[in-house]
Structure 1
């Protein structure tokens, strides 16, 4: 592969344009020294598929580690490397030290003029049984900063805490990586296209609320069993996610068990169940599971590090924050499946689902819809605001006059700097199953008045109503006259374009 040649993304790799470009740039960068990259992300995200495609396009050596003893792992690596090198007999390295020395020797400038791409997948399996391996790679990387080398090494793994630790603090590889890529789930629009339901926003929104943007669920888990339409969604749920014969039935449990730092899974399930039930503050979670707030610090930190929970600061109350689930399937499991597990195991999926409509709307679809609305503003909806700065989040505005709290689901706040006051560009409310009317707009308007009274600049603050169920005629008429955005499912999924805010 020429250094200047473009590395084209195969058509079989769906989306992932930014990730592919980052990997391709890493491989073809014209540097005469060794380079290291770290690729991580939870399982089922398509990391292996992406990296195998990269090796096929660029050439190079791919090794997928498995759980095993140090001796067996070294034997497997040696055999794979011998095959790559074209050796008629397997290599027999006595130690990982010998193996790494030989591997980096293949990238010496005297042996090749082009970069050598080396991918070691599921690296945590190797590091667990051979903890010296990161130090050996560090030694070779450091040596190849003095000597010329064509090495382009990518270490990949699904154990997020282990992969994150490779570059942390005093870890041997700290400061050695030129690429750190986290492969995340598809965004809600890309997921709709991946499932082939982009033309049906109501179906796409429900599907994403249950399975999120995990690519493996469609083909590897469900063999392309896609809902035929919105009318088929209930039957699809019963025959897939809620069926004890489906691989997705126990997937939420496996996702939690796969994290190496999680040992007391019952405690962690209780924490996630608390969040699914709407207890999103530290105190609320502790109260739900019957623990003191200080006692749940470690579980919360582990779930954050594992990308299963996300802590979001309140946009209007410094020091306050809420926890939100980042994995829709786990949230669906905790809210709908876990409370009725015995019934589901006995094959009563249709009965359980029929009784779960309210819980699904309130605990799954509703909170997820709020997250999607914030994602929309962060992405394609940003152009509607007429501003280039701002932090997107949510928060609570306390109304002392009415003695109530106003929940703002979507907020764009620009922090002040120097002599500039902090300002608010957008206040929004999101409703999954409610037709929104003037009362929702009035509540947002009152929040804007309160924030202005606190000294925040609200002169260019628009109001937004997000609804999956629609808007009243009175609200639509008001939106035509004022600084109001109405965003429904068609706008969220790009099938309609809302008017930008005008001031």
Structure 2
């Protein structure tokens, strides 16, 4: 069967569509299984519904509120509807027979059978035996059992921990799944195009609050801001309005409920707030919430596997985790909405926003700009400057014994092929990313020179490392003039990050 073209209504997702469409159209006499997971609002259902329609497949979605009897009835109704029968025509009360029937009704002439079960974790709440039954059906095809189900099965869900648990340890589906796809949010450039925001600074502000989850663009029910001056009114109307679906407090509650392990949400809120406020290690987080590190180990692991906390490793040091809140909606909620909840509840979102502006700039925009700088360096800088080698990209801390301090390095890139956290790494780029209102100056460049010297002293190969300054609000003229003459300096502003302006500095020349 020919791979169907991606419909125009499916924006971006070229790689994901090609991967799933090829999987779904491959001809064979056995069952093939794929798992698709991802945070809510990322467009999993939208993508899979489009694929199912393009292939004439069977799409079934589970409902959280259903018990086992209602879930089986809903499943049978979907089978009947796909077969062109009255919705009550099929009465099947056995999960194995329901699953076998799903592949029979999807198996039509000249079509590769495709069955999609969306919100799969909801079925597991009351029917944990389903993965074992799918293992049995899969193995029948591998053993050549006559009448074994054939075709493509996609299991989809938003509860990341549940979906990943399907393939862990001795679970029935481990080793039987061909594709394990975690659907990401749009990257910051894709998100800007999707929202239709012309101004890069405004696009950055929106991305810092809602990220790249495409579902939020439809939920806002209002035109996006087009200038930074439009942003305050937009954010109070969209994120600080309790009657909106995008109200960050309600949305965060909704997201946390996705993981069945998160029950005592007060503890998880405390941890998220501590991390959003700048605590980035288990010890610092424990101190911020007044609990021993061992007490918070399990809740942190839950947040991490659920996708609400990210644990990155220092690019150069062993056992130096950097824990952050990667989801902009949750970060905004912990930094802005929760501290100003009394004003929001009283119907004063404008006053709440004014009171939170400083925290928003320091604890939301600052970290988000650093993330964008690293994302640009890893994904786009090698395209803009092919002569500059970029391998593993991340951040690090560099001790400065002479000054009795530690230098935080926002962006660090190793040479291609070099592995992190090994001695004597070859460092190709050392960068600082600042979202302050003040342009970057020669003092910032001198700090990077100091850090490069310290890395060389520590034994790393950093003599030829490029020094990169990333700035939300530009550079002073004397720095720009100086950078032009320096073959080891890059100046990267917001226009360059969004691909609308050149990367400047002598190192940009081939």
Q: Under a length normalisation based on structure 2, what TM-score does the superposition of the two structures give?
A: 0.93
Q: Alpha-carbon deviation of 1:167?
A: 0.9
Aligned partner of 1:412 in structure 2 is: 413
Distance (Å, rounded) in 1 between the aligned partners of 2:363 and 2:157 = 32
Q: Alpha-carbon deviation of 1:474?
A: 1.6
Aligned partner of 1:42 in structure 2 is: 39
Distance (Å, rounded) in 2 between the aligned partners of 1:387 and 1:115 = 46
Structure 1 residue 425 and structure 2 residue 423: aligned? Answer: no
Give the counterpart of 1:484 among 482, 489, 497: 489
Structure 1 residue 396 and structure 2 residue 397: aligned? Answer: yes
Q: Alpha-carbon deviation of 1:451?
A: 0.7
**Is residue 121–residue 163 contact of structure 2 (8 Å, CA) maintained in 1?**
yes
Distance (Å, rounded) in 1 between the aligned partners of 2:128 and 2:477 = 65
Aligned partner of 1:275 in structure 2 is: 275
Gap change, CA 1:62 and 1:72, over 3 Å in 2: same
Aligned partner of 1:206 in structure 2 is: 205
Structure 1 residue 10 and structure 2 residue 44: aligned? Answer: no
Give the counterpart of 1:225 among 216, 223, 226: 223
Aligned partner of 1:475 in structure 2 is: 479
Aligned partner of 1:84 in structure 2 is: 82
SS at match of 2:339: helix
Distance (Å, rounded) in 2 between the aligned partners of 1:245 and 1:401 = 55
Structure 1 residue 356 and structure 2 residue 356: aligned? Answer: yes
Aligned partner of 1:448 in structure 2 is: 452
Distance (Å, rounded) in 2 between the aligned partners of 1:138 and 1:497 = 53
Q: Alpha-carbon deviation of 1:34?
A: 1.4
Structure 1 residue 93 and structure 2 residue 116: aligned? Answer: no
Gap change, CA 1:347 and 1:452, over 3 Å in 2: same
Aligned partner of 2:241 in structure 1 is: 243
**Is residue 274–residue 285 contact of structure 2 (8 Å, CA) maintained in 1?**
yes
**Is residue 390–residue 428 contact of structure 2 (8 Å, CA) maintained in 1?**
no
**Is residue 416–residue 423 contact of structure 1 (8 Å, CA) maintained in 2?**
no
SS at match of 1:356: helix
SS at match of 2:464: coil
* Partner deviation per Cα, 1:137-180 (whole Å, 9 max, x = no partner): 11001111233754110011111111111111111111111111
Distance (Å, rounded) in 2 between the aligned partners of 1:266 and 1:206 = 29
Give the counterpart of 1:125 among 122, 127, 146: 122
Gaps of 5+ in 1: none
Distance (Å, rounded) in 1 between the aligned partners of 2:395 and 2:465 = 15
The count of corresponding residues between Structure 1 and Structure 2 is 495
Gap change, CA 1:478 and 1:228, over 3 Å in 2: closer
Q: Alpha-carbon deviation of 1:388?
A: 4.8
Distance (Å, rounded) in 1 between the aligned partners of 2:222 and 2:150 = 41
Gap change, CA 1:53 and 1:317, over 3 Å in 2: same
SS at match of 2:231: helix
Aligned partner of 2:442 in structure 1 is: 438
Gaps of 5+ in 2: none
Distance (Å, rounded) in 2 between the aligned partners of 1:255 and 1:420 = 40
Distance (Å, rounded) in 1 between the aligned partners of 2:454 and 2:52 = 57
Distance (Å, rounded) in 2 between the aligned partners of 1:413 and 1:49 = 38
SS at match of 2:155: strand
Q: Alpha-carbon deviation of 1:44?
A: 1.0
SS at match of 1:129: coil
Gap change, CA 1:472 and 1:385, over 3 Å in 2: farther
Q: Alpha-carbon deviation of 1:52?
A: 0.5
Aligned partner of 1:291 in structure 2 is: 291
Distance (Å, rounded) in 2 between the aligned partners of 1:252 and 1:327 = 10
Q: Alpha-carbon deviation of 1:321?
A: 1.3
Distance (Å, rounded) in 2 between the aligned partners of 1:435 and 1:107 = 61
RMSD between aligned residues: 1.8
**Is residue 33–residue 150 contact of structure 1 (8 Å, CA) maintained in 2?**
yes
Distance (Å, rounded) in 1 between the aligned partners of 2:127 and 2:111 = 30
SS at match of 1:449: helix
Aligned partner of 1:323 in structure 2 is: 323
Q: Alpha-carbon deviation of 1:447?
A: 0.7
SS at match of 1:355: helix
Q: Alpha-carbon deviation of 1:204?
A: 0.5
Q: Under a length normalisation based on structure 1, what TM-score does the superposition of the two structures give?
A: 0.95
Q: Alpha-carbon deviation of 1:113?
A: 4.6
SS at match of 2:178: strand
Distance (Å, rounded) in 2 between the aligned partners of 1:62 and 1:368 = 37
Gap change, CA 1:473 and 1:343, over 3 Å in 2: same
Structure 1 residue 466 and structure 2 residue 481: aligned? Answer: no
**Is residue 395–residue 409 contact of structure 2 (8 Å, CA) maintained in 1?**
yes
